[in-house]
Structure 1
Amino acid sequence: MVKTDNKFIDMTYKKIISFALSCAASLAVYSSADGISQFPDIDKYLGPGRYASAPKAFTYMADGSNYVQLSPDGKKIVKYDTRTGKEIETVLDLDNTRETVIDRMSGFKFSPEGSRILIWKNAKSIYRRSFSAEYYVYEIRSRLLKPLSTDHPRQQAPLFSPDGRMIAFVAANNIYLKKLDYWTELAVTTDGAKNSVINGVPDWTYEEEFTTSSSMTWSPDNLTLCYIKYNESEVPMFSFPMYEGVCDKLTEYSLYPGEFTYKYPVAGQKNSVVSVHSYDVDNRKTKQINLPDSKIEYIPRIAYAYSPDRLIVTTLNRAQTRMELYSVNPKSTVAKSLLVEEYKAWLSTATYEDIKYYPDFFVITSSRSGYDHLYQYSYSGALMRQITSGDYDVTAYYGYDPVKATHYYQSTSTGAINRVVSGVNAKGTVTNLSPESGIASATFSSDMAFYTIRFSDTDTPPTYTLYSTPAKKIKTLEDNSALKERYSSTPRREFFTMTSDGVTLNGYMVKPAGFNASRKYPVVMFQYSGPGSQQVLNEWSIGWMNWYAANGYIIVCVDGRGTGGRGRAFMDVVYKNLGHYESIDQVAAARYAASLPYVDANRIGIHGWSYGGYETLMAASREGAPYAAAVAVAPVTDWRYYDTVYAERYMLTPQENEDGYRNSAPLNYVSNVKCPLLIMSGTADDNVHYFNTVQYVSAAEAAGMWCDMLVFPNMDHSINACSAQKIVFARMLDYFNRNMK
């Protein structure tokens, strides 16, 4: 499920500027004065000048003693001494290579031993995380630059072997192996086919919901490549039309629309059949690894654990309530159960996505205490130690430093709206490496001797600082001081708490500049509300909310029950019953806002995108909902229309939870919506299909109702091409102005 502040995919097809349709299918015509030109201040808040700068492609080298960065022009990779932060040398200059000449690179990756660099250009997004690109291999000593493959001009998910002498990559759903010493290429698989079999990279659902773009792993001795095969031949097909448009025209559709088709399993339908395979580099033979449990539905991860005889296969049941780890010898294919982790509701995604392996133990995240904490296990499956504890959640695990016997992690230990980076040693002593108030995250060198902290709060734009452990500052990499100055007079988030059904909720508001408490202001409620998500965070943010505040609105955001950072009891209440408690809490938040002396209780609107769009529809349909207008972007309108992994994680299947699906569908409450409603969607949304919007509109028409609708042809879930997001927020502001001012 997508959040609007993420970086979204462009997909492989083009995007086009929007046009407006009414829900009753009549064309809504506006004069030029109704368009984006009526908002001369929009670029200050939605233009590129609002973005914080970050160190470009900052990467620690293998030994941690050096780091590299990409030059601003994308032509050079420059090495720095990590201990001093001083420049050492230019490792790669595209103006000084042999054999092949390219103008610039989009990114790079060093081989493990540091003698080669894999670089790429012309990356094209496939889905949210995946992309194909033109890859090249650069030999540092000889300055030789060559295409990774001439047989396959575009490649996907390339992976160096541990010794840096081979690269496995995917092209057209098959895995290929490039031996760099001899510059030979051979096929590892041959059965890959579009919408049928995928090797080495995940299908759409795995990529989206298990947050991965590669399904290959090398053995530590370089002799075996293991991978996951996805047989999606029985997964139902989904398709949507493609049009010519006017921005980057798809000329092949100038007279007739085309069609984009892919495999997308909706709740209750068949998933890809997944299997794990091992490829022997020497004899070129492949074996399938047979796991003993026939009830395995998902294999979200495979990874070697410091031994060529120990491949860890992570498995889940369909309900995602039970994880079992198997330790497999890829040569014999013998698999033994290593660990079983179960939870009464859904397992935390960190439990199976963020396991880290070390020579003598591994570390998992578990919710068994009621909060997400770290646990250390031996390879016999015995619990060695609970690493963290307390009434807070660990939100990221960075790794273990064997020299200092210290685990490093991010948590909510200083409050749900904050994120602090900490270390805990063998005695259980915790040391914070970042400020206690604000949002901090870290990137560590492989030896854990150095780290970079990214920090921001409501008053501080992101800063990037290089340290050595423990907490010795080396260099400020970026402080975004110019950004801070540019928005120095922009109102910041003000945090508050309120109650709903006796439960305390966190919230913030953004007030207009020159706020006058004796006036009455309209309010726009913003929320996302999805399970485990958080919007109420003590972080820097400049965007549409600040723009609306500059136009006289108060923005109010409340994280209701089901959201993250506050333990499992707060989250689990929504299990098998999405939309119920979240909408109760959003209505309560609107009523709280209405009670404030400076709020006009008759001018309160609500907005959300994706899950937030879904929740907008649910909240607006509650009896007595106090909204003067509602705007839902890319909303789910029935969980039966969404993908298996996400929908079933929280709702089980429709066959198991028929009442829950019926009660959670905005489609069933269209006649309850009493305020003006605007829905916006992209017709090429591969995530929350435009089909959701069409079904909702159809239900509204059948009920004798109408709403307003803005359609973005050929655009995906982000509605972000051709500056279309500006149109989204400009149209929304215009809609609130028309109905609430």
Structure 2
Amino acid sequence: MLLLAFIFVSQSITAQKNISVEDIYRGEFRTQGLQSLASLNNGTEYLVLNYNRDRTQTIDKYSYTTGEKTGTLVSSSDIQLPIRDYILSSDEKQMMIISESSQIFRRSSNDKVHILNLETKELTSLSDDLVRSPSFSPDGKKVAYVFENNIYYKNLESGAVIQATTDGVTNKLINGVTDWVYEEEFAIVKAYEWSPNSEQIAFISFDESAVPEFSMDVYGNELYQKPYVFKYPKAGEKNAVVALHQFTLSTGARKEVALGRNEEFYIARINYSPNGKLAAQVLNRHQNVLDFYYVDASGKASIAFTEKDTAYVDVTDDLTFLKDGSFLWTSEKDNWRHIYLYDANGTEKKQLTKGNWDVTSYYGYDAKSKRIYFQSTEDGSINRGIYSISLKGKKKKKLSAQIGTNSASFSKNFTYFINTFSSATTPPVYTLNNAKDGKKVREIKNNNDLTTKLSNYQVAQKEFSTININGNDLNMWTMKPKDFDPNKTYPLFMTQYSGPGSQSVANSWYGANDFWYSMLANEGYIVVCVDPRGTGFKGADFKKVTQKELGKYEVEDQIAAAKQLGSMDYVDASRVGIWGWSYGGFMSSNCLLKGNDTFSMAIAVAPVTNWRFYDSIYTERYMTTPQENASGYDDNSPINHVDKLKGKYLLVHGTADDNVHVQNTMRMVEALVQADKQFDWAIYPDKNHGIYGGNTRIHLYNKMTNFIKENL
């Protein structure tokens, strides 16, 4: 094993006390961050929504170079409305004020919206109702939004409200916003776009009338619980039928775009190019063929190019149109995610970045300097650096100075970027840097106070290494007890997520769970995390090896890693445990069952126990449908291996989990009971996939801690 240890240099040798669950989940070690900011067009100033001590909210303007406040655009006391969020028009003359917001799913909400004219200070209500996904037209004269599954727009000059669609019906047909599965798996909510000339709205419709409904009880505080019913397509079941439309404002005419397809498909993204062409990214149901369509103003569609993969094609937002209609795009076609330049017709002109590393974030293109900005793994798969490169694919510059995790937020004109740096030994540090050469202008914020506070605690160090398993060097970190003695033996506790393209072994600052692992380490456990085959940032082949077999190779790697670690003199191979949440819970369950001679204990929180229960887009991307791949589904689903249970098993779920339904746990419980297997379980009423709120996290982590202490 190649070992690279990171040490808390600021931590005193005689740290006073161990961390507690209450310390962690009451926020004792929470880092200081920057408030969300929006760059202004001038590139020298930005806006921040501030929550003030007098309980007012202000949208304030700041200088990038000095950090000093240069003005206040609006105050909640002046407009007599609370400010929850805001959206600025492209000409910066008007602002949408969101004063009330009601969460729907993970990314969606119903919002109360007002329009503030920043020149006249006139405030008008967009609608008497709560609306979804409002957006300014490019000319700033109109605002579109969705209400009760229909698209509307308001003419800000006349005040007239026009209903663009009329066929939207709850749980039957949606216009302009996505259904549950698109929101969760394609990470989009707004499913409409304004044309550059503000004369057209392109939108996606979702006919979900044939999609099966899922129902879960909400227990609340009343005498009777209430059912919550929504459309949820499980693997192999009916999806919403999607269609692409164009609505012309001047005529009020709506036209469906004929894509010429006779198979099921997804419309994953729509974007307008500067020349007014509509681009649509369309995937087949297997998600291994992506067709990039152009649609002209008359509604005629043609395929500009097609990207294919033996496994699947990832959908991203890495698309920038240049003035001449050519565009930048990222792809894994050479086994690593890189940036490509295509001409206006969709023909590849050049691969701009190359190497055995991934572009992990695409930040954009500066037309003035003709440079592209991105984040990558050139410093190693567990690290992230910031770079720029010319439009010719030359003169690449590294803009980040430190090895660890760097991320960037660029000003509108790419003059500056705010760099967020952290590592396993350094909590987040925020600096302002010149985009041209990466040189630091000033430090904005650090977390030195947290470093000082942590010197009073025993904080276990992360030791980064690789472990050779099944012919692959897998990334790993290890935490050992503070008083670790190689002549003693310790129980081993493994943590992992292991999902496709994910990463748990990263050189970044500790999250809440890392402090929990530190606590466990200092109570006598060796804690280890291994990223198996199927995880990300080691090339597409490494990531996609799990295709059609989710839970096979990842489980083999975790079991083999546990055996190899268990053979070490200081590890007690009879006391090896594993845990995980969501995909990690699916994994920990499988490891305990399939590796029953290796693992003596497992905890699974909100696990998928049968891939047949999970949603269509995610599951079929990696598994195709259960009708096509029954063995792939069944051989790797924990529910079919309950007879193998030997060790101690804790199963946890929230009843209001709209993502991984509590059905997974209930059916697993029934299977375990019928197999006459003893286990422990906990149900959290009305808690979603995150299982939080009030005292919930403290209760959950104390329960898991006690279970570990009793059974490992």
How would you bin the TM-score normalised by the shorter chain? over 0.9
**CA distance in 1 between partners of 2:500 and 2:164 (Å):** 40
Aligned to 1:124: 102
Aligned AA (1:115) = K
**CA distance in 2 between partners of 1:555 and 1:163 (Å):** 56
**1:586 touches 1:619 (CA, 8 Å); kept in 2?**
yes
Deviation readout 1:261-293 (Å, 9 max, x if unpaired): 000011111111111111112222211111122
Residues 730 and 435 (structure 1 numbering): CA distance in 2 closer, same or farther, change over 3 Å? Answer: farther
**2:498 touches 2:583 (CA, 8 Å); kept in 1?**
yes
**CA distance in 2 between partners of 1:576 and 1:608 (Å):** 22
Residue 321, structure 1, aligned to residue 288, structure 2? yes
**CA distance in 1 between partners of 2:48 and 2:442 (Å):** 14
Indicate the SS of the match to 2:373. Answer: strand
Aligned AA (2:293) = Y
Aligned AA (2:225) = P
Aligned AA (2:519) = W
1:162 deviates by 0.8
Indicate the SS of the match to 1:534. Answer: coil
Aligned to 1:34: none
**CA distance in 2 between partners of 1:417 and 1:375 (Å):** 24
Aligned to 1:159: 135
Residues 542 and 269 (structure 1 numbering): CA distance in 2 closer, same or farther, change over 3 Å? Answer: closer
**2:532 touches 2:557 (CA, 8 Å); kept in 1?**
yes
Residue 70, structure 1, aligned to residue 49, structure 2? yes
Aligned AA (1:691) = Q
Indicate the SS of the match to 1:76. Answer: strand
Aligned to 2:355: 390
1:53 deviates by 2.2
1:624 deviates by 4.6
Of residues 248, 256, 264 in structure 2, which corresponds to 1:288? 256
Aligned to 1:357: 321
**1:60 touches 1:67 (CA, 8 Å); kept in 2?**
yes
**1:494 touches 1:508 (CA, 8 Å); kept in 2?**
yes
Of residues 514, 523, 532 in structure 1, which corresponds to 2:501? 532
Residue 224, structure 1, aligned to residue 200, structure 2? yes
**CA distance in 1 between partners of 2:690 and 2:107 (Å):** 13
Indicate the SS of the match to 2:468. Answer: strand
Deviation readout 1:43-101 (Å, 9 max, x if unpaired): 2222223222222121101232321112232611111223443321111122223xxx1
1:599 deviates by 2.6
**CA distance in 2 between partners of 1:69 and 1:443 (Å):** 14
Deviation readout 1:198-225 (Å, 9 max, x if unpaired): 1111100000000112111111111111
Residue 376, structure 1, aligned to residue 346, structure 2? no
**CA distance in 1 between partners of 2:338 and 2:353 (Å):** 6
Aligned AA (2:612) = R
1:458 deviates by 0.6
**2:596 touches 2:647 (CA, 8 Å); kept in 1?**
no
Aligned to 1:477: 444
Indicate the SS of the match to 1:738. Answer: helix
**CA distance in 1 between partners of 2:561 and 2:24 (Å):** 26
Residue 735, structure 1, aligned to residue 711, structure 2? no
Residue 679, structure 1, aligned to residue 651, structure 2? yes
1:553 deviates by 2.5
Bigger drift between 270-279 and 40-49 goes to: 40-49
Residue 601, structure 1, aligned to residue 568, structure 2? no
Alignment of 1:484-633 (within 5 A): 484-488=451-455, 489=457, 490-543=459-512, 544-633=516-605
Of residues 95, 112, 130 in structure 1, which corresponds to 2:77? 95
**1:85 touches 1:475 (CA, 8 Å); kept in 2?**
no
Aligned to 1:400: 365
Deviation readout 1:679-729 (Å, 9 max, x if unpaired): 000111110011111111111112121211100111111111223122221
What are the ranges of 5 or more consecutive residues in structure 1 without an aligned counterpart?
Answer: 1-38
Aligned AA (1:532) = G
**2:279 touches 2:294 (CA, 8 Å); kept in 1?**
yes
**CA distance in 2 between partners of 1:223 and 1:627 (Å):** 62
1:296 deviates by 5.0
**1:57 touches 1:107 (CA, 8 Å); kept in 2?**
no
Aligned to 2:119: 141
Aligned to 1:54: 33
Aligned to 2:8: none
Aligned to 1:337: 303
**CA distance in 2 between partners of 1:198 and 1:181 (Å):** 28
Of residues 94, 98, 109 in structure 1, which corresponds to 2:87? 109
**1:128 touches 1:208 (CA, 8 Å); kept in 2?**
yes
**1:531 touches 1:562 (CA, 8 Å); kept in 2?**
yes
Residues 335 and 46 (structure 1 numbering): CA distance in 2 closer, same or farther, change over 3 Å? Answer: same
1:388 deviates by 0.7
Alignment of 1:129-208 (within 5 A): 129-150=107-128, 152=129, 154-208=130-184
Residues 131 and 512 (structure 1 numbering): CA distance in 2 closer, same or farther, change over 3 Å? Answer: farther
**1:399 touches 1:407 (CA, 8 Å); kept in 2?**
yes
**2:596 touches 2:645 (CA, 8 Å); kept in 1?**
no
Indicate the SS of the match to 1:621. Answer: helix
What are the ranges of 5 or more consecutive residues in structure 2 without an aligned counterpart?
Answer: 1-17
Indicate the SS of the match to 2:481. Answer: coil
**CA distance in 2 between partners of 1:147 and 1:484 (Å):** 47
Aligned to 1:428: 394
Of residues 416, 425, 431 in structure 2, which corresponds to 1:465? 431
**CA distance in 1 between partners of 2:490 and 2:158 (Å):** 71
**2:341 touches 2:352 (CA, 8 Å); kept in 1?**
yes
Aligned to 1:28: none
Aligned to 1:413: 378
1:392 deviates by 0.9
Of residues 433, 438, 447 in structure 1, which corresponds to 2:404? 438
Residues 183 and 327 (structure 1 numbering): CA distance in 2 closer, same or farther, change over 3 Å? Answer: same
**2:505 touches 2:531 (CA, 8 Å); kept in 1?**
yes
**1:165 touches 1:181 (CA, 8 Å); kept in 2?**
yes
Identity over aligned residues, as a percent? 36
Residues 427 and 367 (structure 1 numbering): CA distance in 2 closer, same or farther, change over 3 Å? Answer: closer
**CA distance in 2 between partners of 1:93 and 1:700 (Å):** 58
Residues 590 and 163 (structure 1 numbering): CA distance in 2 closer, same or farther, change over 3 Å? Answer: same
Of residues 302, 307, 313 in structure 1, which corresponds to 2:270? 302
**1:45 touches 1:546 (CA, 8 Å); kept in 2?**
no
Indicate the SS of the match to 1:320. Answer: coil
**2:21 touches 2:701 (CA, 8 Å); kept in 1?**
no
Aligned AA (2:36) = A
Aligned AA (1:155) = V
1:513 deviates by 3.2
**CA distance in 2 between partners of 1:704 and 1:84 (Å):** 68
**1:84 touches 1:474 (CA, 8 Å); kept in 2?**
no
Q: In the comparison of the two structures, how many residue pairs are matched?
A: 684
1:192 deviates by 1.5
Aligned to 2:12: none
Of residues 232, 242, 249 in structure 2, which corresponds to 1:264? 232
1:135 deviates by 1.8
**CA distance in 2 between partners of 1:297 and 1:444 (Å):** 35
Indicate the SS of the match to 2:476. Answer: strand
1:550 deviates by 4.0
Residue 275, structure 1, aligned to residue 277, structure 2? no
Deviation readout 1:117-143 (Å, 9 max, x if unpaired): 112133222111111222222221222
**1:321 touches 1:346 (CA, 8 Å); kept in 2?**
yes
**1:523 touches 1:553 (CA, 8 Å); kept in 2?**
yes
Indicate the SS of the match to 2:275. Answer: coil
What TM-score comes out, normalization by structure 2 length? 0.93
Aligned to 2:214: 238
Indicate the SS of the match to 1:695. Answer: helix
1:427 deviates by 5.1
**CA distance in 2 between partners of 1:513 and 1:213 (Å):** 47
